[in-house]
């Protein structure tokens, strides 16, 4: 199937779904196309597994009963439409999917459809037309799947920009790629995201690990990546659905993606078998939890950012590595016991070897307006000496990133200015420069565990900037002003003028 045809059918289905009275927002029709694609894609996956079983002389037991497989109820010859198809979905298919039991694959599907879709389309004829468009979306070749995964991620990015849901659904791809490259997960290691959202970190870790193997990848390696590598948890139904869908499109149907409140786990009860080699994550910004949940932590706080950090510290295995996004408030808060004690333990029990300060605007898609939360990237390892004692932090390497390869507005358009490649190169040797510096841990302790990134070279960096750099900065600011004006015009424009296929 050509990329153009696949692109046309994908966005055609989106536009059809938008016509229904129950899909008034981008969030609504993203959810609808996600569960439709999930069921179609899952049938394609089952067909491959059935063919493999037949080739090996094994009997294959399908996960879904014949009546509920995609091709059965979407069959053009049956032509279920109107009230009939709505009734079948509401009264038959979804109750069946929500009651699946018996193996890990069924558990994943049960989790996906436990609360999704959150609401049904009203018009069965519109649903039928969307199904007919999706029927043309093929998964026959790796190129088809790659193209569709790209389209799906562009839809998630659009959701982040326009819906203000960046903290839950979408972390900018350049940030994810940078974190994965620096942490460098390898085959044989387990990878965990406790707030997986749309699974961007797990998808990129899978791509990174396969790319590292290159032509040396064997069926046993693929099996290990499929079954024993990736683990994720997500509290909310819609991000969980999107995360599972995103993973399937990128070649992973993992039964270790679970829908649950990560912070509901008592961190005091974790043992080494519950832990992971690599943790990559972007926990929710600014969330709060009930007191019944905060009791699961040694340093209770209603703020999810600091409790997620405690969870992650308890979940990383001996010798393991962490790369994560965190809002800046966690770094500088020194007036609350939970923050101070958590950071104290982080420095004493782990090697917090790097903090990268990101510019304001990286998560402009996480809020309805403005630049979004100021964020940093933390990198720390759980290291032990020969006696088995934790190796704490001696000094922290800081880097002040001013540009990240995309505009710092909701549009997140690609721009040439990008400090992340320079940061990646310097981080590997902990090099000191105008943008990077070292801080001994004793200085952090004296500041009552204030981990804020304050570049001591900031003035020198400004004084030594080249005319070309200054001109580039002016051009970037002018571009940002133009983008803000475009966003204002979009807000003032009549509803329904959006063209999704321009992505």
Please name which of 133, 123, 117, 148 lies closest in space to residue 28, comparing C-alpha atoms.
Answer: 117
Tell me if 502 is assigned to some domain. Answer: no
As a whole number of angstroms, the distance between CA 199 and CA 249 comes to 11
Domain of residue 50: give its range: 3-139
Q: Does residue 403 share a domain with residue 275?
A: yes
Looking at residue 217, its pLDDT comes to 82
Strand pairing report for 395-400 and 375-381: unpaired
Tell me if 113 is assigned to some domain. Answer: yes
Q: Does residue 207 share a domain with residue 82?
A: no
Q: Which residues contact 295 (CB under 8 A, 6 or more apart)?
A: none
Q: How far is CA 420 from the centre of its chain?
A: 19
Global pTM value: 0.84
Q: Does residue 211 share a domain with residue 93?
A: no
Tell me if 481 is assigned to some domain. Answer: no
Tell me if 412 is assigned to some domain. Answer: yes
Alpha helices in 164-290 (DSSP H): 166-169, 173-183, 200-213, 219-227, 237-249
As a whole number of angstroms, the distance between CA 435 and CA 431 comes to 10
Q: Does residue 171 share a domain with residue 119?
A: no
pLDDT tens-digit profile, the chain (503 residues):
567 778 888 889 889 999 999 888 888 888 898 899 889 988 888 888 888 888 888 888 899 999 999 999 999 888 899 999 999 999 999 999 999 987 778 888 898 898 888 888 999 999 999 999 988 877 666 676 767 777 777 777 777 666 555 455 578 889 999 999 999 999 999 999 999 988 989 999 999 999 998 888 888 888 888 888 999 999 888 888 888 888 888 778 766 888 889 999 999 999 999 999 999 999 988 777 888 888 999 999 988 999 999 999 999 999 999 999 999 999 999 889 999 999 999 999 999 999 999 999 898 876 666 777 899 999 999 999 988 899 999 999 999 999 999 888 877 888 999 999 999 999 999 999 999 999 999 999 999 999 998 999 876 545 455 554 455 456 545 555 655 565 566 556 554 444 444 34
Looking at residue 474, its pLDDT comes to 60
Q: Are 435 and 399 in contact (CB under 8 A)?
A: yes
Tell me if 402 is assigned to some domain. Answer: yes
Q: Does residue 179 share a domain with residue 96?
A: no
Cα-trace Rg, the chain: 24
Looking at residue 489, its pLDDT comes to 61
As a whole number of angstroms, the distance between CA 461 and CA 87 comes to 65
The CATH number of residue 97's host domain is 1.20.1260.30
> CB pairs under 8 A, 24+ apart, for 303-308?
303/338, 304/263, 305/329, 305/330, 306/330, 306/338, 306/339, 306/342, 307/263, 307/338, 308/194, 308/195, 308/262, 308/263, 308/281, 308/283, 308/284
- On the 0-12 / 13-18 / 19+ scale of CB atoms within 10 A, 106 is middle
Looking at residue 191, its pLDDT comes to 97
**The last residue of a domain, from among 110, 139, 168:** 139
Tell me if 471 is assigned to some domain. Answer: no
Q: Are 209 and 253 in contact (CB under 8 A)?
A: no
Q: For the chain, how are helix, strand and coil distributed in percent, rounded to 5?
A: 50, 15, 35
Q: Are 117 and 35 in contact (CB under 8 A)?
A: yes
Looking at residue 224, its pLDDT comes to 86
CB neighbours (10 Å) of residue 291? 8
**The last residue of a domain, from among 139, 161, 187:** 139
Tell me if 470 is assigned to some domain. Answer: no
Q: Does residue 161 share a domain with residue 80?
A: no
Q: Are 174 and 420 in contact (CB under 8 A)?
A: yes
Strand pairing report for 276-281 and 316-327: parallel
Q: Are 353 and 380 in contact (CB under 8 A)?
A: yes
b/e burial code for range 333-368 (CB count within 10 A of at least 16 → b): beeeebbbbbbebbbebbbbbbbbbbeebbbbbbbe
Phi-psi region at 346: left, alpha or beta (left = phi > 0; alpha = psi -120 to 50): alpha
Looking at residue 141, its pLDDT comes to 65
Looking at residue 495, its pLDDT comes to 45
DSSP string computed for 368-384: SSSS---EEEEEEE--B
As a whole number of angstroms, the distance between CA 362 and CA 372 comes to 7
**The last residue of a domain, from among 113, 139, 165:** 139
Looking at residue 95, its pLDDT comes to 96
Q: Are 172 and 362 in contact (CB under 8 A)?
A: yes
Q: Does residue 213 share a domain with residue 84?
A: no
Q: Does residue 404 share a domain with residue 353?
A: yes
Tell me if 480 is assigned to some domain. Answer: no
Q: Does residue 310 share a domain with residue 424?
A: yes
Looking at residue 472, its pLDDT comes to 47
Instruction: Please tell me the total count of domains within the chain.
Output: 2
In this predicted model, what pLDDT tens digit does every residue of 423-480 receive, in sequence order? 999 999 999 999 999 999 999 999 999 999 899 987 654 545 555 445 545 654 555 5
Looking at residue 484, its pLDDT comes to 58
As a whole number of angstroms, the distance between CA 307 and CA 298 comes to 9
The CATH number of residue 310's host domain is 3.40.50.150
Q: Does residue 333 share a domain with residue 215?
A: yes
Q: Does residue 176 share a domain with residue 111?
A: no
Q: Are 177 and 204 in contact (CB under 8 A)?
A: yes
Looking at residue 288, its pLDDT comes to 75
Q: Does residue 305 share a domain with residue 215?
A: yes
Looking at residue 104, its pLDDT comes to 76
Q: Which residues contact 69 (CB under 8 A, 6 or more apart)?
A: 43, 46, 62
Owner of token pair 């965990």: 192
């Amino acid at each position: 199937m050509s990329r153009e045809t696949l692109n046309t059918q994908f966005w055609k289905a989106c536009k059809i779904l938008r016509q229904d009275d129950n899909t008034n927002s981008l969030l609504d029709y993203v959810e609808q196309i996600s569960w439709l694609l999930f069921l179609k894609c899952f049938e394609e996956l089952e067909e491959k597994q059935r063919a493999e079983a037949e080739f090996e002389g094994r009997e294959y037991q399908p996960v879904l009963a014949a009546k509920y497989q995609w091709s059965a109820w979407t069959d053009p010859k049956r032509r279920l439409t109107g009230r009939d198809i709505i009734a079948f979905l509401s009264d038959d298919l979804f109750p069946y999917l929500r009651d699946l039991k018996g193996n890990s694959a069924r558990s994943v599907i049960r989790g996906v459809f436990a609360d999704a879709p959150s609401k049904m389309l009203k018009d069965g004829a519109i649903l039928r037309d969307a199904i007919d468009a999706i029927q043309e979306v093929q998964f026959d070749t790796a190129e088809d799947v790659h193209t569709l995964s790209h389209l799906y991620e562009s839809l998630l990015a659009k959701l982040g920009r326009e819906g203000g849901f960046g903290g839950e659904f979408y972390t900018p791809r350049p940030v994810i790629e940078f974190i994965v490259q620096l942490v460098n997960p390898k085959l044989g290691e387990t990878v965990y995201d406790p707030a997986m959202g749309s699974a961007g970190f797990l998808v990129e870790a899978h791509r990174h690990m396969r790319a590292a193997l290159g032509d040396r990848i064997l069926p046993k390696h693929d099996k290990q990546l499929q079954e024993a590598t990736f683990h994720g948890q997500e509290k909310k139904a819609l991000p969980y659905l999107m995360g599972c869908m995103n993973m399937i499109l990128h070649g992973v149907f993992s039964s270790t993606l679970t829908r649950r409140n990560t912070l509901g786990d008592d961190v005091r009860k974790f043992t080494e078998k519950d832990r992971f080699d690599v943790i990559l994550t972007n926990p929710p910004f600014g969330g709060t939890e009930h007191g019944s949940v905060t009791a699961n932590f040694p340093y209770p706080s209603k703020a999810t950012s600091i409790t997620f950090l405690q969870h992650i510290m308890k979940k990383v295995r001996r010798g393991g590595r962490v790369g994560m996004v965190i809002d800046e408030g966690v770094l500088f808060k020194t007036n609350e016991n939970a923050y101070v004690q958590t950071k104290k333990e982080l420095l004493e029990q782990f090697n917090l070897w790097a903090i990268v300060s990101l510019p304001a605007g990286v998560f402009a898609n996480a809020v309805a307006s403005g630049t979004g939360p100021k964020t940093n990237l933390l990198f720390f390892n759980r290291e032990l000496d020969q006696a088995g004692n934790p190796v704490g932090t001696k000094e922290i390497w800081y880097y002040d990133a001013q540009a990240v390869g995309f505009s710092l507005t909701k549009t997140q358009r690609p721009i040439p200015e990008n400090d992340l490649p320079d940061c990646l190169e310097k981080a590997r040797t902990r090099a000191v420069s105008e943008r990077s510096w070292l801080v001994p841990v004793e200085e952090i302790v004296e500041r009552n565990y204030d981990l804020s990134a304050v570049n001591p070279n900031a003035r020198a960096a400004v004084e030594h900037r080249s005319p070309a750099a200054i001109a580039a900065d002016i051009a970037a600011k002018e571009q940002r002003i133009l983008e803000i004006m475009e966003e204002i015009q979009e807000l003032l424009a009549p509803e329904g003028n959006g063209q999704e296929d321009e992505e």
